[in-house]
Amino acid sequence: MDKIENCTVYYHDVKHPRLEFKTGKLVLILPKNFKNHEALIQKHQKWIQRKLKIIEEAVQEAERKEVSSRDDTQLKELVNNIIKKYKQELKVNLNKIFFRKMKTKWASYSRKNNLTVNKLLKYLPTNLIEYVLYHELAHYIEKKHNQKFWKIIKTRHPDYENKEKELLTYWFIIQNKLQ
């Protein structure tokens, strides 16, 4: 792992370089022998600038929002009720639900059909918790964030793009609250 100009670089066994933003910071995931980070950053400069603008807007919006005040027990009850509804709707074969604090995700769905829910969801409004859970359960049907996946999401959440932006905003609110 290297630090280069406000970004973190990881070298992995991957074929192609990848750029991501994790919790507002640029991350490069590169093949082990990849040499030219600067050219990669330059090539994707417009995409990087677009993402940075979205992040900046989310940070500004975060200053105007409040967080919910649920405890862990209330979160678990709410999640279980929402999951019950969406499990039937999506015909998901869910194995177990785990609750833990996660650093970069709201939740994740594993290949073993387990759902891990970030305890920080307790700070979100109910409609966003519903969206996160629906999003994760949709991965039972389609693993990748491709066109088929987003079509599934649109059936229940046609405004998913706004919800994704709101989640980013709340991420910054919660990170500031917990510091």
In this structure, the number of other CB atoms found within 10 A of the CB of residue 178 comes to 9
94, part of any domain? yes
> What is the torsional sign of CA 22, 75, 82, 114?
positive
Range of the domain at 24: 2-62
Same domain, 152 and 95: yes
67, part of any domain? no
CB 156 within 8 A of CB 134: yes
Same domain, 58 and 76: no
pTM score of the predicted model = 0.74
Mind listing the pLDDT tens digit for each residue in 81-132? 999 999 999 999 899 999 999 988 999 999 999 999 999 999 999 999 999 9
CA 16 to chain centroid: 22
- At position 7, the amino acid (one-letter code) is C
Residue where a domain stops, chosen among 38, 62, 86:
62
Task: Give the CATH number for residue 98.
Answer: 3.30.2010.10
Same domain, 81 and 166: yes
Q: Is the pLDDT of residue 67 over 90?
A: no
- CA dist 162 and 167 (Å) reads 9
Mind listing the pLDDT tens digit for each residue in 167-177? 988 888 887 66
- At position 52, the amino acid (one-letter code) is L
Domain count, the chain: 2
153, part of any domain? yes
